[in-house]
Amino acid sequence: MSEPLTGMNTSQIQQMNAPDVADYLKNNPDFFEQYAELLSSVNLSHPHGNRAISLSERQIMTLREKNKVLELRLAELLRFGKENEAIFDKLQRFTRTLLLQRNARHLPDVLVSSIGEIFSVPEVALRIWDASDDFADLAVCGPVPVELISMANQLRTPSVGAPENEHRDALAILDRTDVHSLALIPLKRGAAPEAYGILVLASADPKRFQAGMGTDVLSHLGEVSSAALTRILA
């Protein structure tokens, strides 16, 4: 309906419903220029009360509400930015610690303790089953159940969640009974499909490594650890 209201007869005006009015105003943006006095005389109901307010007041309220939404989104983005910056700093610190470790025999212990300290992980365990003979006597290179090796080989990304019966071998190397969430990180040579070891991170807090959480940080942790530990592989 693009004809002006003044061109309508009484019957046509009476037959108009809300969508018709909205469509008319949308197609006639100059309407309020021709009838500017309507802007000051139109009253709308207050969104949070029973009193009536002018159209301009309602527009101001709408803009304020939009501004509040934008402010909340901005605050959320800033919070995410700070969190990401903190995570980056931790990964950088972890990587630096491993690079500065010259003695390869100390590397596994340094790696485990650094993860616990830098990332505040209560329990961290490491097992390697493809070490060279020079490092075979290290505790982390001890016997490993075939089932744990098979599980690590099947992992393409870190696995997180509550411990299940299938995780009993991973839990065994932690030597703890109060684990309510854990993360399993396979250690691999580059893009090799088979794992040469596994990192087990655990916590008594069921929400620390809960199913459905993002695993990007754990993946980066696994990549850095995998690259560093190749120094002791066969």
In the block, residue with structure tokens 């075979």:
136
Average pLDDT, integer, range 27-50:
68
- In which band, very low, low, confident or very high, does the pLDDT at 47 lie, cut at 50, 70 and 90? low
Residue 123 has pLDDT above 80, yes or no: yes
pTM: 0.71
Residue pLDDT, tens place only, 134-145:
999 999 999 999
Distance from C-alpha of 214 to C-alpha of 138, rounded to nearest angstrom: 33
Distance from C-alpha of 221 to C-alpha of 88, rounded to nearest angstrom: 11
Distance from C-alpha of 174 to C-alpha of 124, rounded to nearest angstrom: 7
Domain map (residue ranges) of the chain: 16-100, 104-232
Which region, left, alpha or beta, applies to residue 3 given φ > 0 means left and ψ of -120 to 50 means alpha? beta
Which of these, 128, 143, 133, lies nearest to 194 by C-alpha position?
A: 128
- In which band, very low, low, confident or very high, does the pLDDT at 78 lie, cut at 50, 70 and 90? confident
Distance from C-alpha of 131 to C-alpha of 58, rounded to nearest angstrom: 72
> What would you measure as the largest C-alpha separation in the chain, in angstroms?
99
CATH label, 104-232, candidates 1.20.1250.20, 3.40.50.620, 3.40.50.20, 3.30.450.40: 3.30.450.40
